[in-house]
Structure 1
Amino acid sequence: MKFTDLNRISKLFFGTIDIAKELSITQESARITAVRYTKKKLLIRLKRDLYILPSRFDKLKEEEIFHVANILQTPSYISLTTALSYYNITTQQQRNYIESIGLKRTRTFEINQLNFSFSLIKKSLYTGFGLNDNYFIATPEKALADSIYLSSLKKYNCDFNAINFSKIKLKTVNEYLLKTNSHVLSYWKNICRTYKIWKH
């Protein structure tokens, strides 16, 4: 039984069943092996019974990294500056930082120097996203709305100077923010006045 035998697993993400099959061992032995390999940094554990080889993780494309973010916390979707950058709406660059919106808790995971940040929002605001290939991502308008909402609560720091508001349907952003509260709406109106982007 050799660690290199795991390179024969064709799946990008795999579990102990796949490890057991490839190494010709029981699933319980595979579980113990996975724990040992993870401690030695020969495997990366994404969540319960789901692993990836470090060599493959380091070669992930942007869309695959977004999929990993969805896996790390379920349910969740890519949003905030990460989504705005993906749509070329902001010039703000965040190296090795992936931002998502979730329903469970606010926290950050670090995997091989790549940070996955999750911000918690109310269930009533958990909308405005769709499935793109195999990952969930906010629409441009919802990504901005999320940024405004969390910034107004001082839970996020969005660089609004870097945003090209002309690429955004501001009426749609307003519709999302109408579901929040007067404090958020006041913050939004100040942004509109500051950047002279839209009259309510």
Structure 2
Amino acid sequence: MKWIDYNEKLLGLNLPVFTLREALRLSGLNYDTGRMQISRWVKMHRLVRLKNGLYALKGPLDRGKIPAFYIANRLYSPSYISLESALSFYSLIPEIAFALTSVCSKPTRKFSVMQTSYVYRSVQPKFLTGYVVEKEMGFSIRLAEKEKAVVDYLYFTIVDKTDPLERLDLGGLDRKKMYGYASLLKEEKLMPLIRRLC
């Protein structure tokens, strides 16, 4: 398959980040031939290998046309943006998060892609809830609700035995919703911490 045709097909489907399986399905090539073709395009700097089996179109990636939150969702799935990244997004903390932080049901992982750090913290699958799907630049992004981002953050301060940020701005949050999310975790120290901060 010619690069120009393949590139247009991916852009037409709004799929600038894709798996090897998706690439093979779109190209119609068998596994070995498709994998070799993808490898060639990576060497030619037309594609960027984000991790084993996940690729991005280099042009849109270099021009900032692929939101970092979308890359975070695709890099390690199922996951959603939460913790410091979501708190910063909602202006619940004054600073910008250093790394893109997400919550997932897989083991905790860290990735570095194009000088951006992606950090994934693990929770039980039943706690992988409390997120909404937002649109950014035409891409669907899974992002924790404000209250869930706070509960996720407080939960990991207990797990990591660190102090919660004093600069958390919790005004206007739905306490009942926070208590509901916290009850899923069955972490005895979480409810008193929420009561103290709210």
Measure how far apart 1:150 and its partner are.
0.8
Q: How does 1:1-200 map to 2 (within 5 A)?
A: 8=8, 10-11=10-11, 12-14=16-18, 15-16=23-24, 20=27, 28-38=32-42, 42-46=46-50, 49-60=53-64, 64-95=67-98, 97-133=99-135, 134-154=140-160, 160-179=165-184, 180-189=186-195, 192=196, 197-198=197-198
Q: 1:86 to 1:56 in 2, by over 3 A?
A: same
Matched residue pairs, number? 185
Q: 1:26 to 1:145 in 2, by over 3 A?
A: closer
1:72 is matched by which residue type in structure 2?
Answer: L
Q: 1:39 to 1:116 in 2, by over 3 A?
A: farther
Q: 1:181 to 1:50 in 2, by over 3 A?
A: closer
1:53 is matched by which residue type in structure 2?
Answer: L
Maintained 8 Å contact 2:154/2:164: no
Residue 129 of structure 2: SS of its match in structure 1? coil
Measure how far apart 1:75 and its partner are.
1.0
Percent identity over paired residues:
26
Maintained 8 Å contact 2:17/2:71: no
1:142 is matched by which residue type in structure 2?
Answer: K
Q: TM-score, normalised by structure 1?
A: 0.75
Please give the root-mean-square deviation of Cα atoms over the aligned residues, in Å: 3.0
Residue 173 of structure 1: SS of its match in structure 2? helix
Q: Structure 1: which 5+ residue stretches go unaligned? A: none
Q: 1:27 to 1:107 in 2, by over 3 A?
A: closer
Q: TM-score, normalised by structure 2?
A: 0.76
Instruction: State how far apart, in whole Å, the 2-side matches of 1:125 and 1:17 are.
Output: 33
Q: Structure 2: which 5+ residue stretches go unaligned? A: none
Measure how far apart 1:117 and its partner are.
1.0
Instruction: State how far apart, in whole Å, the 2-side matches of 1:153 and 1:172 are.
Output: 21
